Structure 1
Amino acid sequence: MTHPAIEAGHVAVITGGASGIGFAAARKFLSLGLKVAIADWNEEAIALARQALGPDVLIVRTDVSSRADVEALQQAVFERFGAVHVLMNNAGIGNGGPALGDLDSWQRVIGTNLWGVVNGVQVFVPKMVASGAPGLVINTGSKQGITTPPGDTAYNVSKAGVKVLTEALQHELRGIEGGRIEAKLLIPGFVWTGLTTGDRAEKPAGAWTPGQTIDFMLASIERGDFYILCPDNEVERPTDEKRILWAAGDIVENRPPLSRWHKDYGDAFKDFLQG
């Protein structure tokens, strides 16, 4: 089996589970015999998910940025299933805007993408640890939280926070004597979801499906990976590795920030990428 927490009869909770990557995870866990609870805010997506997943799945309308909502979700899950073995903090939104952008947009994106994960971790994980059962926490980050391209700065900040939080969480969990809980950071590539659709009606050739992402995630977990760095049909891992190294090199080499997009460093980056 992929991980001792992912076992028939165990319980998986997925935020943002009514569409995209979260929905694909819900379907996969169900196919493996897990009991599934999903949290989502979008009523239309919830209705479609309820129809597709069936009555055995617990669906709780949840605003993950609200601590009270996440606490209500935890209560509903434990009342229905009595335990949680897999927690996937996956809910996410974009379009927060640039550094000098609209405050309300920033608060909306940070609230969902970062505080949603903080709330999920702090509300669910202590009880998972106390149970003594094997457990797995999967937090959905983004490559944009690592290479931080210009544009949607609020989104980048939120996902950078998820990366730091998940690294620290795994460090804390491995220090618990007799602990059986692990944390993982899911770093999707270009995935065809509502977050990336835009005005396009058909999946671009370069994008992966959510199902491909979840299959890769499970294979990575089976290998013991912490950083689940997903490729897609356009970008393979070696390219991602070089982009990440270049971003870190801005500090080490004392280059301007985001030098990959700086007019004076464009050729140097291209040479680095091809080297």
Structure 2
Amino acid sequence: MNHICIQPSRVAIVTGGASGIGLAACRAFAGLGLSVVVADVNAEGLARAVEDIAAASPRGRDAVRGLRCDVTVREDLQMLEAEARDAFGRVDILMANAAVQPGSDILGPDDAWDRILDTNLHGVIRTVQAVLPGMIADGHPGLVIVTGSKQGITTPPGDPAYNVAKAGVKAFAEAVQHDLRNRPGCRISAHLLIPGFVFTPLTANGRTERPAGAWTPAQTVDFMMQGLARGDFYILCPDNEVTRQVDERRMLWAASDIIENRPPLSRWHPDYADRFEAFLRGAG
């Protein structure tokens, strides 16, 4: 783990921190003694999360601040950065995690597409643009963690707006890391968290019990911490259904659609079903 960034004197901001992976990350940072600024658009959930996170911290409530923040509103994010600095004097870790998944289709209503893109893509961009300049100016080591999705890489059919947003998040996170590593003297690194199947309010779809194939948010964050310790940019999480090997084969097949001039999303095309299954077994 990057011990310079993740130690008791440091400060983490997490957006979308009142539930799911964001809340698990806040708990993990707090448990290590960091000060945590948790941001979420859900005021009621935020109040509960603050108490939960404080209970995980050896420093208690003094180490936690909660702020209602809508990542679609640039002024909210500017206030978030200012509040974090006012409370704790610095920012060392930024986790841009806020997202929605109401569902979408190609010819669906504009408001669904607008909400998903504005939160999941533009919200990530706004968050980084609001907080990262101050981190760079401080000159301290730091981490920017962006929550992506495998759906932004293999783009399966079923929720195109979400896929488009997460594909954009991947490209943005890569650009951020490229920028940071080429800044003279900059000691901040960016990382793309790519969760597997995680049981969260975003993925529950009415279910109250975690499916056997899903990881918990805590498992995902534990894997994230291991990835940060290794210095990974792409933190590609497995789950109880899908191994890294299977993920790698799926991603290679998706990229090969372009190279081999196959139909897009050929993994789901009936003419390629047998070839894909053979490829997945390592025979193709």
Are 1:198 and 2:205 counterparts?
yes
How far apart in 2 are the matches of 1:163 and 1:239? Answer: 20
| Number of residues of Structure 1 aligned to a counterpart in Structure 2 | 275
Aligned to 1:82: 89
| Structure 1 contact 95–152 (Cα < 8 Å) conserved | no
How far apart in 2 are the matches of 1:4 and 1:253? Answer: 45
How far apart in 2 are the matches of 1:5 and 1:28? Answer: 14
Please point out which of 158, 181, 190 is paired with 1:151. Answer: 158
| Structure 1 contact 2–218 (Cα < 8 Å) conserved | no
Please point out which of 204, 210, 215 is paired with 1:208. Answer: 215
Are 1:180 and 2:187 counterparts?
yes
Deviations 1:79-105 (A, max 9, x none): 111110000000011124022211101
SS at match of 2:271: coil
| Structure 2 contact 38–50 (Cα < 8 Å) conserved | no
Which is worse superposed, 202-211 or 91-100? 91-100
| Structure 1 contact 3–221 (Cα < 8 Å) conserved | no
SS at match of 1:37: strand
SS at match of 1:155: helix
Which letter does structure 2 place at the counterpart of 1:156?
N
**TM-score scaled by length of structure 1:** 0.98
Aligned to 1:43: 43
Cα drift, residue 50 of structure 1: 2.5
Please point out which of 126, 132, 136 is paired with 2:133. Answer: 126
| Structure 2 contact 16–98 (Cα < 8 Å) conserved | yes
SS at match of 1:264: helix
Structure 1: gaps of 5 or more residues: none
Aligned to 1:33: 33
How far apart in 1 are the matches of 2:268 and 2:10? Answer: 46
Structure 2: gaps of 5 or more residues: 55-60
SS at match of 1:101: coil
How far apart in 1 are the matches of 2:224 and 2:30? Answer: 16
Q: Percent identity?
A: 58
Aligned to 2:7: 7
Cα drift, residue 223 of structure 1: 1.0
Which letter does structure 2 place at the counterpart of 1:26?
C
How far apart in 2 are the matches of 1:25 and 1:98? Answer: 31
Aligned to 1:225: 232
SS at match of 2:212: coil
How far apart in 1 are the matches of 2:133 and 2:103? Answer: 31
Cα drift, residue 48 of structure 1: 1.6
How far apart in 1 are the matches of 2:229 and 2:50? Answer: 29
Runs of 4+ in 1 over 4 A off after TM superposition: none
Which letter does structure 2 place at the counterpart of 1:42?
N
SS at match of 1:272: helix
| Structure 1 contact 142–186 (Cα < 8 Å) conserved | yes
SS at match of 1:185: strand
Cα drift, residue 3 of structure 1: 4.1
Which is worse superposed, 49-58 or 74-83? 49-58
Which letter does structure 1 place at the counterpart of 2:4?
P
How far apart in 2 are the matches of 1:17 and 1:158? Answer: 19
**TM-score scaled by length of structure 2:** 0.95
Cα drift, residue 53 of structure 1: 2.4
